[in-house]
């Protein structure tokens, strides 16, 4: 039994789907943001696995890893902004459930 | 040996990830998220991306989770009543589950596990030098853009977290 590329891809797919269902089915904005992070993390895992399994001694395929570097940067920025927005929303309506944020609808 | 390690770390990552949306208390979810990210970092180590593994632990477990926990404590959201997801969301989730299991299943069936190619130790992603070289040559523009993105998000967060005045003066209301 050899661990190949598709094993990592399956793990990555499961992680992504868990994050996806968290975003769809949960109502708490904080948990939704956490699940978004999980989805980004799953894509990171897939990128690293792809770049490792396509590497050769001549070309070490650092591009996927560099991409992960940028994704981590963007994720950090995204969490900072998202949490600031959640704090403002909480100040506005004293809740973090996304169902309550319907001011624009009425 | 590597196979057993892979299965252990994959199980750690996936099981703790499943617990994140299930937990009612967001604090527990954040704690499970740390475990999941550590498991991912271990998988990165198995993929010989040592630098990324360290980065993952430092940025995610060190910075992002702390930020999450800080906000959870700040907002003091205790166990809220469990709302049922709307019927549209449930149908969408079911549909997505179908498609995703189809994709994972096709991956599973398309077997033919080819082994990890051997590359020299020097050229693995363990080398921060390789990252630095690439960031300042081939990926110079994305590097600058991501630096600018961090600046923009910092300014945005400062502006967002300022206490806004409650009454905003409408244009032409008082003159």
Between CA B62 and CA A73 the distance in angstroms is 14
Q: Are A71 and A29 in contact (CB under 8 A)?
A: no
Cβ neighbours of A44 in B, within 8 Å:
40, 52, 56
According to the model, what pLDDT value does residue B156 have? 92
Q: What is the pLDDT of residue A43?
A: 93
Tokens linked to B163: 């206490």
The size of the A-B interface in CB pairs under 8 A is: 231
Taking CB atoms and an 8 Å cutoff, what residues of chain B touch A63? 134
Q: Which residues 55-94 of chain A have a CB within 8 Å of chain B?
A: 55-57, 60, 62-63, 65-66, 68-70, 72-81, 83-88, 90-91
Average pLDDT over residues B31-50: 91
- Distance, in Å, from the CA atom of A14 to the CA atom of B11, rounded to the nearest integer, reads 11
* Nearest residue on chain A to B95, alpha-carbon basis: A21
For chain A, state the CA radius of gyration: 18
Q: What is the pLDDT of residues A51-105, one digit of tens each?
A: 888 877 767 777 888 889 899 999 999 999 999 988 888 888 877 787 777 777 7
Structure tokens at B147: 């630096």
Q: Do A8 and B112 touch (CB under 8 A)?
A: no
A5 versus A12: which is more confidently predicted?
A12
Whether A81 and B153 lie within 8 Å, measured CB to CB:
yes
Could you give the C-alpha distances from B109 to B20, B105, B125, in angstroms and in order?
29, 6, 30
pLDDT of residue B122: 56
ipTM given for this complex: 0.89
Residues B108, B76: Cα–Cα separation, whole Å: 43
Find which of B71, B97, B143 to mutate to test the A interface (most A CBs within 10 Å of its CB). B71
> Would the pLDDT of A41 be above 90?
yes
Statement: residue B172 has pLDDT above 70: no
CB contacts, 8 Å: B118 with chain A: 57
Candidates A36, A4, A29, A48; CA nearest to A90 is A29
Residue B175: predicted pLDDT: 45
């Amino acid at each position: 039994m050899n661990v190949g590329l598709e094993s990592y891809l399956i793990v990555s797919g499961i992680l992504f789907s868990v994050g996806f269902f968290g975003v769809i089915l949960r109502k708490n904005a904080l948990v939704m943001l956490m699940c978004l992070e999980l989805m980004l993390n799953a894509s990171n895992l897939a990128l690293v696995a792809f770049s490792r399994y396509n590497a050769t001694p001549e070309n070490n395929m650092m591009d996927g890893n560099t991409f992960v570097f940028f994704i981590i940067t963007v994720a950090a920025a995204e969490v900072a902004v998202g949490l600031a927005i959640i704090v403002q929303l909480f100040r506005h309506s004293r809740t973090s459930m996304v169902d309550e944020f319907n001011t624009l609808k009425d | 040996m590597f196979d057993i390690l892979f299965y252990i770390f994959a199980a750690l990552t996936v099981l703790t990830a499943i617990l994140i949306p299930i937990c009612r208390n967001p604090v527990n979810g954040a704690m499970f998220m740390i475990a999941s990210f550590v498991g991912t970092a271990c998988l990165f180590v198995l993929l010989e991306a040592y630098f990324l593994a360290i980065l993952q632990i430092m940025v995610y477990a060190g910075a992002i989770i702390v930020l999450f926990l800080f906000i959870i404590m700040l907002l003091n959201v205790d166990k809220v009543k469990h709302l049922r997801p709307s019927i549209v969301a449930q149908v969408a989730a079911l549909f997505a589950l179908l498609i995703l299991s189809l994709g994972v299943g096709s991956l599973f069936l398309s077997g033919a596990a080819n082994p990890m190619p051997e590359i020299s130790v020097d050229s693995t992603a363990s080398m921060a030098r390789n990252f630095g070289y690439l960031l300042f040559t081939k990926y110079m523009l994305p590097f600058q853009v991501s630096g600018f993105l961090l600046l923009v998000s910092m300014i945005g967060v400062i502006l967002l977290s300022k206490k806004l005045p409650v009454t905003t003066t409408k244009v032409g209301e008082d003159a």
